Structure formats: structure tokens, C-alpha cells
Amino acid sequence: MIRRIPQARDRGIPDATVARLPLYLRALNGMAERGTATVSSEDLALAAGVNSAKLRKDLSHLGSYGTRGVGYDVQYLIYQISRELGLTQDWAVAIVGVGNLGRALANYGGFASRGFRIAGLLDADPHVVGDRIAGLVVEHADELESVIKKRGVSIVVIATPATSAQQVCDRVIAAGVTSILNFAPVVLAVPDGVDVRKVDLSIELQILAFHEQRKANGGPIMAEEWPDGVVM
Amino acid sequence: MIRRIPQARDRGIPDATVARLPLYLRALNGMAERGTATVSSEDLALAAGVNSAKLRKDLSHLGSYGTRGVGYDVQYLIYQISRELGLTQDWAVAIVGVGNLGRALANYGGFASRGFRIAGLLDADPHVVGDRIAGLVVEHADELESVIKKRGVSIVVIATPATSAQQVCDRVIAAGVTSILNFAPVVLAVPDGVDVRKVDLSIELQILAFHEQRKANGGPIMAEEWPDGVVM
DNA sequence: GTGCCTTTGTGAAGCAATGCACAAAGTCGA
DNA sequence: TCGACTTTGTGCATTGCTTCACAAAGGCAC
Ligand SMILES: NC(=O)c1ccc[n+]([C@@H]2O[C@H](COP(=O)([O-])OP(=O)(O)OC[C@H]3O[C@@H](n4cnc5c(N)ncnc54)[C@H](O)[C@@H]3O)[C@@H](O)[C@H]2O)c1
Ligand SMILES: NC(=O)c1ccc[n+]([C@@H]2O[C@H](COP(=O)([O-])OP(=O)(O)OC[C@H]3O[C@@H](n4cnc5c(N)ncnc54)[C@H](O)[C@@H]3O)[C@@H](O)[C@H]2O)c1
């Protein structure tokens, strides 16, 4: 039986931890702006909305960056988390599908400030191609492969209708992209080695509705039957 | 020691299961449109992008709705999942903050089709108030409480800048709302009994960047040190 | 120095979710 | 009616994540 010997800086950081690091980073940036020099796990955990033991365990996966009796140096921790997440370099992102959502994303300033530079906007609709949005001109979807290669795009955001998403996905993967953020409500099929993250707003609302219903009724109405009262 | 006796329709559905039900529902709706009458756990799992044992276990939390040797009746399963999620009723949703993102959400047709009716759009900016978007007129944020009460809003979407989000959140909770979908990059403090779900696009990109960096380098650059090479 | 106080880092226990593997249930053709 | 075949529903082992609780580390006052 093979047992992994845990090391000081174990390379395998749990997914759950990776997903929280950006949260810590955001809280730390706020503190840095307010001039805070050091912070305890307790306070940082509070600001990030997690439990302090979890925070300490998460940070311990990156290394031993705290000082007992004192806490963590805010600037140093910002740097370490940023480095771990790969935010010390900047990333070229292309947005495919410049409709309602694609436009909102393109106009959003919060990406650039985190090192995500929008390097291309692409759409299949000739009425949209040529529009200038947030300083960029929308290019035709036919240019997808060439834009990806010329501008070193490594992350693609898919904001097309569901029907085109898989096709766009296949093309960007063929062009060498291995990180995709998908807003279309479809399950994308991708080969191993490609990471897809999805954001589905309608799923979030459905989860809220589930809990809301429980709060109101203590559960769904009409347990086992069809609306007309006939059990199948 | 108290041990819960598992029942045919155990009322405590695991969170992980609830989060996947909308996925199954979407896959089932696709099948229904294509005229499929029954589906096996294997096929449905494939369409939803999960493992079939997981799918069966998830569905078993709702009840025993399959037929051995055959599979699940598509229409019946759609109804059962919808009922469980609370989608057999419709929900009035208000969007607070009608900027880039709020507009995209308001214009999106995918909510109404799932029983989420946009019942109000609110903004604090007088230049935005009065705009007509997707058939609704934007109202002033001062009307928040009255809109919630008059239109029976039970889910609020917060799409304001981060600085206003907590304040909006406090107000909607005071007005009786207990389900919130938050797009602002802040941790909202809420009392017990209030559900908040958050969508943070920039976190998703950061997670992608983390994995992308690993694929490229096998890990972050300059393990323990500051950029200038001095260990703290 | 020395000792007190604070806070980290981490074993270990507890809990939740996953995935395997198969008996039981039901279908369908002969 | 029966037997072969398919597919569900679930017990169980496993994995992964969370939380507790505390020894060890380090700062700081005197
Ligand atoms: N708008 C929202 O709030 C929202 C919410 C949840 C999910 N979504 C999903 O996000 C996606 C985009 O939504 P939207 O509201 O922006 O839709 P939209 O119809 O406004 O925009 C889609 C854009 O994609 C373009 N397009 C179509 N096929 C293309 C292709 N092959 N290559 C490049 N571009 C192509 C279209 O020309 C259009 O401009 C949809 O899949 C939608 O379901 C949107
Ligand atoms: N646009 C995106 O793609 C995107 C991506 C990720 C996160 N976000 C987040 O979503 C939120 C909205 O983003 P946006 O791009 O639409 O911003 P925006 O500035 O375009 O829109 C914000 C709107 O909220 C309104 N507002 C401000 N204070 C208010 C209050 N107290 N009550 C009601 N309305 C108020 C403003 O008048 C404005 O119209 C922000 O928190 C942003 O960080 C946006």
C-alpha cells in the first residue's frame, strides 16, 4: 500500500482549498487598502466568511507563512496566495459570444484588476462584428483560431447560446486552449487535460427556490402524485 | 444514540444532490423535446455529465420513481424533480442594480422559462430609473421595500457594486426576503434562516488560472521567496 | 533571561459524498 | 408461464473535507 508522505509544501492542494484562496485574497486586499499590516487567522476567517481552523489548514497547504502569537503579514500573504493562484503573471482571455452577457463581461473592470486581460471579443453575428466595446473591436468568430494563437489566449469564456457552445468549445480546444469558463446551459464534452468551469445562474435560482419552498411549506406539495391525483 | 431510520422519501436531501437536480432537469427537458419517453440512469447520467450510480442515488432521495429493467419515465421524472425543487409554482424575482450585469440578467429569457418571473428592477441612479428593459420600467431603489411587498418578491438578485451590496442585503432581509443571489464580490453577513448564494466570476477565472499554471509549469514560480529573492 | 500570553499548525475524530458491486425487481420474448 | 436479460435501488468501503482541540512556537513585558 502506497501512502503519501505529507511534506512541508505538498504540491497537491485540495480543490476545496483552491476555491477559497480567491476569497482570502479579496479579504486581504481590502485589509491592505485599509493599511492593516498583520492579521490573525480568526479575523481573516471572519472577513472571508469561513471558520478559522479551515483557514489555517488551507494556508498550511501553501507553506508555513504565519507567525505564532502574531498572525499573518498581510502583504506577504497576498503575494504568496497570488503566486499560488498564478496571478503574478497576466492571462489573456477571449470572450466568445458578445450578446447581453458577453457585453456585460467585457465592460466589467473587475477582471483586469486581477490580471485577466480581455484580449479578444468574438461573435458570429455580422451586426455585432465591428462594434467597439470597452476599447476592443468585436471580431468575427471565424477569426477564433487566429486570435487565440496571435494573442496568446489561454482562457476562453463561452457566452454564446447553448446550441453553439459545444462547437465553439471544440474549436478552442483544437486551437490549444485548455481552460474554459462556460455560461451556456449545456454540459460540454472535453478531452482529459481540459478544465471547464461552468456558471449557471438558473441553477442557482433553482437551488434558492428549493430552500425557499422548504421554509414556506416544510417540503414540496403533493408528495407522490401527479397534479390530477393519479399515482402512476 | 439517535439513529435516523431512512424512509422511502427522506425529507433531508443532501446539498450535493439538490445542486445536481437542476442539471438532471435540464437534460430531461432536452430529451422530452426530442420525444424520448423513457431513459436509463446510464443515459441520463451521460447527458448530465455525472456517474450513473450517483444519479441513481440522487433520485432515490426523492422516491422510487424508476422501473427496473426499463429506466425512468421522462415526463414523470421531470414533474417529480420540478416539484421537489419548487418549480411547479412561479417565483417573483427582483433585480437590484441595473448596470451592465443587471441589464443582461433582465434581458435573459432563460429565467422565465423556469418559472422565475422578473417582477421588479431597481436602481439608485436617477439616470437609470425610468428606463424600460425587457418590458419593465426601472424603479428607484427607495421603492425596494414596497416593490417586494406589493409584488410578493421572494428572491432578490443583488447586482450593485460591492460597496452597496451589504446595505441592499440588510434592507431586503428587513422586508422579509430570505433568498438572495449575490453577484457583488463581498461576503454578505446575514442572520440565520436567510440563504445567500453567490456567483463570482472572478473567482472562477482565478481557479482556472491556478490549474492553467500547473499545467504549464508544474507549479508556481519561485516557491518560498519574494520576487527580489529575499526570504522574509 | 524568564515566564506569560497569544496564535499558529496539525493530529485525530467526525461527517458527507462518492463509487463499487450486486441482489432484487421488473420486462419481454418464446 | 417461464427464464433470460436489463436496470434499479442500496449496503458498504473509500475518499475527501471539516471541525475540534491542543502542543509547540514565538513575541513581549519585566
Ligand atoms: N444573459 C444572462 O443573464 C444569462 C444568464 C444565464 C445564462 N446565460 C447564458 O449565456 C449565454 C449567452 O446569453 P446572452 O443573454 O448573452 O445571449 P445573447 O443571445 O444575447 O448572445 C449570444 C451571442 O452569441 C453569438 N453567437 C451565436 N453563435 C455563435 C458562435 N458560434 N460563435 C460566436 N458567437 C456566437 C450571437 O451572435 C449573440 O451575439 C446563453 O447560453 C445563455 O443561456 C445568460
Ligand atoms: N459585469 C460583470 O460581468 C460582472 C462580473 C463579475 C462581477 N460583477 C459584479 O456585479 C456587480 C454589478 O456589476 P456591473 O458591471 O453591472 O456594475 P455597474 O456599475 O454597471 O452597475 C451597478 C448598478 O448598481 C446601481 N446601484 C448602486 N448602488 C445601488 C443601490 N444602493 N441600490 C440600487 N442600485 C444601486 C448603480 O446605479 C448601477 O446602475 C458588481 O458588484 C460587480 O463587481 C459584475
Mean pLDDT by 10 residues, chain A (232 residues): 40 93 98 96 97 98 94 97 96 98 95 93 98 97 98 98 98 98 97 96 97 85 48 39
Last residue of a domain, one of B68, B85, B102: B85
B108 and B53, same structural domain? no
A73 and A169, same structural domain? no
Q: What is the pLDDT of residue A9?
A: 44
B124/A contact by beta carbon, under 8 A: no
Last residue of a domain, one of A50, A85, A120: A85
B105 and B76, same structural domain? no
Q: What pLDDT band is residue B12 in, cutting at 50, 70 and 90?
A: confident
Q: Which residues of B touch A47 (CB under 8 A)?
A: 187
B95 and B115, same structural domain? yes
Q: How far apart are CA A174 and CA A157, in angstroms?
A: 15
B16 and B95, same structural domain? no
What would the pLDDT profile of B185-204 be if each residue is shown by its tens digit?
999 999 999 999 999 999 99
Kindly tell me if the per-residue pLDDT of B8 is higher than 90.
no
Q: What is the pLDDT of residue A6?
A: 41
Q: How far apart are CA B214 and CA A11, in angstroms?
A: 10
Residues in chain B: 232
Asked, for residue B230, whether it belongs to a domain, the answer is no
Q: Please name the residue ranges forming H helices in B34-154.
A: 41-48, 52-60, 74-85, 100-107, 144-151
B51 and B14, same structural domain? yes
Q: What is the pLDDT of residue B219?
A: 64
Cβ(A204) – ligand 1 distance below 6 Å: no
Q: Which atom of ligand 2 is nearest to the CA of B101?
A: 16
Asked, for residue A226, whether it belongs to a domain, the answer is no
A97 and A177, same structural domain? yes
H/E run at residue B181? strand B179-182
pTM as predicted: 0.93
* Residue B57 beta carbon within 7 A of nucleic strand D: yes
Of B33 and A10, more confident: B33
Q: What is the CATH number of the domain that holds A196?
A: 3.40.50.720
What would the pLDDT profile of A127-168 be if each residue is shown by its tens digit?
999 999 999 999 999 999 999 999 999 999 999 999 999 999
Q: What pLDDT band is residue B222 in, cutting at 50, 70 and 90?
A: low
> Structural domain of residue A65, as residue ranges?
8-85
pLDDT-above-90 percentage for chain B = 84
Asked, for residue A95, whether it belongs to a domain, the answer is yes
DSSP B226: -
H/E run at residue A92? strand A91-96
Of B182 and B110, more confident: B182
Asked, for residue B214, whether it belongs to a domain, the answer is no
What would the pLDDT profile of B74-98 be if each residue is shown by its tens digit?
999 999 999 999 999 999 999 999 9
User: Is residue B100 a known part of a binding site?
Assistant: yes
Asked, for residue A215, whether it belongs to a domain, the answer is no
Kindly tell me if the per-residue pLDDT of B137 is higher than 70.
yes
Asked, for residue B80, whether it belongs to a domain, the answer is yes
Last residue of a domain, one of A70, A85, A100: A85
B95 and B191, same structural domain? yes
A108 and A57, same structural domain? no
B196 and B95, same structural domain? yes
Asked, for residue B144, whether it belongs to a domain, the answer is yes
CA distance A187 to chain B (A): 6
Q: Mark yes or no for CB contact B91/A212 under 8 Å.
A: yes
Asked, for residue A16, whether it belongs to a domain, the answer is yes
The helix/strand/coil state of B121 is strand
Contact B184, A66 (CB under 8 A): no
- Kindly state the average pLDDT of the residues B133-161: 98
Q: What is the CATH number of the domain that holds B36?
A: 1.10.10.10
Q: What pLDDT band is residue B182 in, cutting at 50, 70 and 90?
A: very high
Residues 6+ apart with CB under 8 A from A138: A98, A121, A122, A123, A128, A129, A130, A131, A132
Report the mean per-residue pLDDT for chain B. 91
Half-sphere exposure of A224 (CA within 13 A, CB side): 9
How many domains does chain B contain in total? 2
A52 and A105, same structural domain? no
B38 and B120, same structural domain? no
